[in-house]
Amino acid sequence: MLYSGDEKRHNNPDLAYVDADFIRGGGKVTANLQTLLTDFSQKVDQLKQYITVVYVISEKQVYRLKDVNQINNLSVGWQVDINVLQGPKGDTGAKGDTGAKGADGAPGTKGDTGAKGADGAPGTKGDTGAKGADGAPGAKGDTGAKGDTGPAGPVSIATDTDMQTGTDNTKAATPLGVKNWWTWVKGAQMLSDQNYTQTEKSKLAKIVTDFTVGFASPRSITEPDYFRNQTVIKEVVLKNADTFSYSINDGQSYITPSLPLTPATYITIQAGTWVRWRIKFSANQVSASVNLLIQ
């Protein structure tokens, strides 16, 4: 260690003996807050905690070092020193003039809507207003659509005689008339030897007719029909039915022919036979029918 005298001076009394930048704890100057954190990182030996002060030109303020280990952290290592640049407190000045009135403040926010007041008492009933003038007549409406054609007038019903004669083409046949006619056909014995000559039988053998058997749901079996004479069924036509069969032994068993019939499968009903008819049809059908072409 080098000891020196109590006092050292520069040979030129107008010059400083030592620069404060090179004294530990001396005052320093920097350009801005960024340089405050970088200018002294290599000059730690010149810094002294709570003693070193730095004037920051951009801020026009003095910053005092409060943590020598945090010189690169503005909020932790430094603090503004307001006492360094502040002179002694002067005398209290004279009271200044009253300042001009400040500008009006901005309007306050709108208050909440007040509660609804109580309903007022009902007013007195007003006088009845005068009757308004009659309105103008409305425009004529469009012509209505043409109505449906009414049902046909009464028809003339064929009698049993008309049905058996077969010459009238203007009268209508009823289900009862057809049934009576069919009963008459089956009982006519058209090919009986005692009623017709050989020539007549040859002509009658070529006569072809047909009849229809109706079935009402859920019934699928008819009452038996009697065949007085031998009869050949050449064609079977179904309406709303799935299958057709017949019984010649009063319903003990049924025969189901393959449809359509062919000459080899024509159905022959012997004379004096009772025949029951049966069909199968869907449950949603209200009725079904079978038409039989016979000779």
d(CA 167, CA 174): 16
What pLDDT, on the 0 to 100 scale, is given for residue 149? 63
Higher-confidence residue: 273 or 113? Answer: 273
What pLDDT, on the 0 to 100 scale, is given for residue 64? 95
Sequence-distant (6+) residues with CB within 8 A of 208 are 234, 293, 294, 295
What pLDDT, on the 0 to 100 scale, is given for residue 124? 82
d(CA 67, CA 65): 6
Contact 294, 233 (CB under 8 A): yes
Contact 65, 50 (CB under 8 A): yes
Model confidence over 150-187: pLDDT tens digits? 565 567 888 888 887 777 778 888 888 888 877 776 66
> Which of 78-82, 117-121, 141-145: highest mean pLDDT?
78-82
CB atoms closer than 10 angstroms to residue 77 = 20
What pLDDT, on the 0 to 100 scale, is given for residue 38? 93
- Phi (first) and psi of residue 21, to 5 degrees: -65, -20
Nearest to 191 by CA among 179, 183, 203, 178: 203
> Quick one: tokens of 263?
């000459």
Higher-confidence residue: 101 or 260? Answer: 260
Question: Mean pLDDT over residues 266-293, rounded?
Answer: 87
Q: Indicate the average pLDDT of the chain.
A: 79
Which CA distances in Å does 98 have to 91, 93, 102, 103? Answer: 20, 15, 11, 15
Model confidence over 17-47: pLDDT tens digits? 677 767 787 789 999 999 989 998 888 888 8
What pLDDT, on the 0 to 100 scale, is given for residue 16? 65
Task: Tell the burial category of 175 from Cβ atoms under 10 Å away from its Cβ (0-12, 13-18, 19+).
Answer: exposed
d(CA 232, CA 275): 13
Using 50, 70 and 90 to split pLDDT, how confident is the model at 199? low
d(CA 287, CA 216): 4
What pLDDT, on the 0 to 100 scale, is given for residue 287? 80
d(CA 99, CA 83): 30
Q: Is 184 helix (H, G, I), strand (E, B) or coil?
A: helix
Q: In this model, does residue 139 exceed pLDDT 70?
A: yes
What pLDDT, on the 0 to 100 scale, is given for residue 192? 42
Q: In this model, does residue 57 exceed pLDDT 90?
A: yes
Q: In this model, does residue 190 exceed pLDDT 50?
A: no
What pLDDT, on the 0 to 100 scale, is given for residue 275? 92
What pLDDT, on the 0 to 100 scale, is given for residue 273? 94
What pLDDT, on the 0 to 100 scale, is given for residue 196? 46
The dihedral sign for the CA sequence 166, 172, 178, 180 = negative
- What is the percent of the chain with per-residue pLDDT over 70, rounded to a whole number? 81
- Phi (first) and psi of residue 102, to 5 degrees: -70, 160
Model confidence over 207-266: pLDDT tens digits? 557 777 777 755 677 778 899 999 999 999 988 888 889 999 998 999 999 999 999 999
Report the range of poorest mean pLDDT among 19-28, 84-93, 127-136, 255-264.
84-93
Nearest to 246 by CA among 263, 267, 260: 267
> Quick one: tokens of 12?
């030129």
List of domains in the chain: 20-80 (no CATH), 160-294 (2.60.120)
